[in-house]
Amino acid sequence: MTQKRTDIRVISHLAGRRHARGLIRMAESGALPLRNDNDDPAVLTLFSGKDQAGVGELLDHPSSWAIDLDCGDPGKGLTRMPARLLLRLSTVSVLRHDAVGLMVEALCSRLPRLISIRDDIHLALQEAVGNAVIHGNLGLDGRLRATREGLLAFTQVMHRRSDDPRFGHRPVTIAADWNQHHLVIRVEDRGRGFKPSRIPVPIKPTAPSGRGLCHIRALCRRVSFTAHGRRISMRFALP
Amino acid sequence: MQYEIKTGSDAIHLTISGRLTFAEAIHFPQVLSELAASPSKGPLEIHLSQMDFIDSTGMSLFVHIYDWTQSVGAKVTIHKASGPVYAALDRAAFNTLFEFK
């Protein structure tokens, strides 16, 4: 099989970073599974999530993978994530930027027929990324939000942990792949994982937590968990 | 997320604009504190015409608002939720908790 060429775009002031050099080597050797339908080279963008400017254009064509170099070990596991579109951001960057909006825009620009299910994809992906950040990488228990005092404690711990590099630099990865019939979006975190219930549990309107997974199950054709609950795969039927 | 609380003689008005998601959760206790400190004991009118998006963490703010208004006996009306915001609130069956206009 002929290996497709990967073009690499590195925001200039980051080119000397240790992780940038490692990722460039991986891309040049063909180790990163960037998938592409045509003969155009796939474009990998390396950036810093601390930068405010230009983040909104990270996945503009022809860029198909974008990796935040502020993540701890930003190349880890990427060789096992074949994807046409991939966005990896640190937890802090996800809290700072609208990563989900960015991904949904990029998906709709490549697959215009998604427009009719755009809101469903947006909400399902938002819930998955929210779970990856809050319960995964920051290790927070949503049940703490049941009372006002608990909500205050929840937000205080959230603030403290997002400022702590051991939590704040953990990456959230959003990877999308599709064929003629289906779109599959995977979201992965580096938290402790969890054991999802096999049977959907109905959520009362007054429940303080647990609503996100319920929404995801309602909006997707199929949902599955791997990597001990650290990775969710959401399958949507293409209109 | 931006919010504004105005206390009128007849009601408290809470206007929320932008995105109400997990990334904004850090502001929720402040919103609830300001509401609780409001001198008015009238109904709460929530205006969402400028809200673009809400997720389940954002919805948890409304659950806390519901709990607080139940404790003080105030009625809540949500005004002008539309598009994906209305769809999300409807999906969560919030029409059983609040009046929508």
Question: Going by C-beta distance under 8 Å and a sequence separation of 6 or more, which residues neighbour residue B15?
Answer: B3, B4, B6, B46, B47, B50
SS3 A149: helix
Q: pLDDT for A176-223, tens place per residue?
A: 999 999 999 999 999 999 888 777 777 899 988 888 999 999 999 999
Tell me what the mean pLDDT of segment A72-76 comes to: 93
Residue reference for tokens 């939590």: A167
Tens of pLDDT, residues A97-119: 999 999 999 999 999 999 999 99
Among partner residues B26, B83, B88, which is closest to A155 by beta-carbon distance?
A: B26
Q: What is the ipTM of this complex?
A: 0.92
pTM of the model as a whole: 0.93
State the smallest CA–CA distance between residue B8 and chain A in angstroms: 25
Structure token digits, residue A57:
């254009």
- Tell me A132's DSSP state: I
Report yes or no: A99 and A78 within 8 Å, Cβ to Cβ.
no
Closest chain A C-alpha to B31 CA, distance in angstroms: 11
- Is the CB of residue A110 less than 8 Å from the CB of residue A174? no
Give the C-alpha distances (Å, rounded to integers) separating B26 from A35, A164, B96: 38, 16, 27
Closest CA to B59 of B85, B83, B30: B85
Encoded amino acid at A160, one letter? R
User: What is the spatial distance between Cα A238 and Cα A230, in angstroms, rounded to a whole number?
Assistant: 25
- Residue of B28, B88, B93 with shortest CB distance to A205: B93
Rounded to the nearest angstrom, the minimum Cα separation between B58 and chain A is 10
Tokens at A55, concatenated: 């983040």
On the question of a cis peptide bond just before residue A41, with omega within 30 degrees of 0, the verdict is no
Per-residue pLDDT band for B77 (boundaries 50, 70, 90) equals very high
The pair of three-digit structure tokens given for residue B35, joined into one six-digit string: 């509401």
pLDDT tens figures, A120-165:
999 999 999 999 999 999 999 988 888 999 999 999 999 999 999 9
| Domain spanning B2-100, CATH architecture | 2-Layer Sandwich (3.30)
* Percent of chain A whose pLDDT exceeds 70: 95
- State whether B22 and A152 contact (CB < 8 Å): no
State residue B76's pLDDT score. Answer: 96
Using CB atoms, pick whichever of A123, A145, A152 lies closest to residue B55: A123
Residue B83 has pLDDT above 80, yes or no: yes
Degrees, nearest 5: CA angle B40-B55-A239: 140
Structure tokens at A148: 């006002």
Q: Mean pLDDT over residues A21-48, rounded?
A: 83
Of the candidates B44, B50, B47, the one whose C-alpha atom is nearest the C-alpha of residue B32 is B44
Q: What topology does CATH give the domain A6-237?
A: Heat Shock Protein 90 (3.30.565)
